[in-house]
A and B are shown apart, each in its own frame.
Chain A
C-alpha cells in the first residue's frame, strides 16, 4: 500500500475487555514499531520487529501487552484486560530497512477504555 495502515481507527473498550489492534506496514518494509501516545505527550516506544522477529519489547508496560508479526508483514498489538490507563493512541511505524532510523507512522488507533 501507499502508507502504513492501521485498524480500527477508533476503539472503545470496557475495562477488562481484550482488544487487538492491527498494523499493515508499507509493503517490503523490514522494520515495524509500535508506539503509545498519551494525550499531550510524545510517542513512547513499545516494541520493534525486524521481519517476524521481535527484537525489542522493552517498552511494553506490562504482561497484558503482547505483539506479534508472524509472517513478517502485518502486525497485531493485543492488550488483555484493558485498564483506563491504557487509553491512548497506538501508533505503528515501519521503515524499509534496519539502517533507516527515521520512519513513517500510520494514522494510529485511538483506544478509549471506559
Chain B
C-alpha cells in the first residue's frame, strides 16, 4: 500500500461547481500536510498548508482528519483556471522530506 494515496480522477466538473478531493495517508506519525497544484509540464506549486483546525483561502478549504488519516481539499465556484493536478503531500516528524500522492486531475469545463 502506498504511503499517500489519491484518486487519480479525472474529475470533470462544470464551471461554478463545488468539488472535493480526499487524500489518505498511512503513517500515523505524519505531522505536516500540504496541497500542491501542478499544471501540465510545470512544477508543483504550494497551494496551501493544512492545519488541524482546518483552514480556508478564498474558494479553497483544506481539512485534516487525524482519526481517519486523511486530508481533504474543497474548491468552491470552480473556475476554468482551476484545471490542474492537485497533489497532497505529507511529512513525518523528524524528517524534512515530503511524501507526495500521485495527484488528482481536475478538469473544469465551460
Contacts and interface: CB of A to CB of B under 8 A. Distances in A.
B100 interface: yes
Interface residues of B, number: 22
A106 interface: yes
Contacts of B101: 42
Interface string B13-43: 0000000000000000000101000000011
Sort chain A's interface into a size bin.
Answer: 20 to 34
Given A42-B87, A56-B95, A105 B100 contact: no
Interface of B: 4, 8, 32, 34, 42-46, 49, 87, 89, 91, 95-103
Given A44-B100, A101-B91, A105-B45, 8 more contacts: A33-B97, A42-B101, A56-B97, A91-B43, A101-B32, A101-B96, A104-B46, A107-B42
Interface of A: 31, 33, 40-45, 48, 50, 55-56, 58-59, 91, 98, 101-108
